[in-house]
Homo-oligomer: A and B are copies of this chain.
Amino acid sequence: MINARQGVPPVYSRRADSSVPRSGLNCLTCQNRNKAEWCGLADEEIRLLNKDKRPRFYPPNHIVFAQGDAWDGLYCIEAGTVAMFHTDAEGRSILVRLGHAGQTMGYQAFFSGGVHNVTARVIQAATMCRISGEFLERTLARSPSLARRYLSRLAGEVVSAEEALLRQSALSVRVRLVHLLLSLMERFGQAGDEAHGHVVMALPVARKDLAAMLGTRPETLARTIAELRADGMVRFDGRCVVVPNERALLDELEPMSA
């Protein structure tokens, strides 16, 4: 029913940047080596990975792959941020997840049947290494632990997708926004100077995309932010967010108090 490759914005590739890596990236010394799924591989396998991978720079708004495209490789993010959108036949879309340094994109399509079911758009300039299907296939056969690692990862995604579904149907936009801010702060937040839970964060995404992460409209998001600001929970200035008291945000999530 929900038909692929439709409603996908035609931004396709503004200036498809050349495949010249920022510098000769090396998997053996990659800063993300211990974060990626690849971390369990033996040095020998990593050396093969290093030979297989094709590094490349991607500017903001570049579409790495689009929903409906045939699978063409794994993308290991060395730096930057990539948003993955799922879009329906009428063009409505939600931001399903953010990919950041150390994560690998595109394995869902590899394992599920060879067609991407999300559109990956770069939102903060990124360098990524493309990994071929042949390499993945070969390494899966040789290193059972890699399959195991992907099994855990996919199972974890199923769990979090189910939680997202429940949040979507049971929680208000305001509460969902608080959830989202708290989880973004874990990754993008900087502890502030003041005493109690003062946190500052540079939002990685624009409002429009933040709304898409909540499964709501930009108008509603703007209103909800205004409301939160009026209550003194947060201060927004463009993409800069200040949370004076993290505890107060957490209290939003617990309907029952003392």
Residues of chain A at the chain B interface (Cβ within 8 Å): 1-2, 86-88, 90, 92-94, 96, 107-113, 117-118, 140-141, 144, 147-148, 150-152, 154-159, 161-170, 179, 215-216, 253, 255
Could you tell me if A147 and B151 are in contact, using CB atoms closer than 8 angstroms? Answer: yes
Q: When the two chains form their complex, are residues B151 and A88 in contact, meaning their CB atoms are under 8 A apart?
A: no
Determine the distance from Cα of A253 to Cα of B154 in the docked complex, in whole angstroms. Answer: 30
Q: Judging by beta carbons under 8 Å apart, are A162 and B161 in contact? A: yes
Which residues from chain B contact A165 at a C-beta distance below 8 Å?
86, 94, 96, 161, 164-165, 168, 215
Given the complex, which residues of B lie within 8 Å of A107, measured CB to CB?
155
A87 and B253 alpha carbons, distance in the complex (Å):
16
**Quick check: B113 and A152 within 8 Å, CB to CB?**
yes
Please give, as numbers and ranges, the residues of chain B lying within 8 Å of A90 by CB-CB distance.
170, 255
A59 to B215, CA, bound (A): 39
Contact of B253 with A169 in the complex, beta carbons under 8 Å: no
* Complex contacts, A216 vs chain B, CB 8 Å: 169
Complex: how many Å from CA A198 to CA B170? Answer: 35
Sample of 10 more A-B contacts, CB < 8 Å, known A118-B162, A150-B151, A168-B215? A2-B163, A86-B166, A87-B166, A88-B167, A90-B170, A94-B166, A96-B165, A112-B156, A154-B154, A158-B161
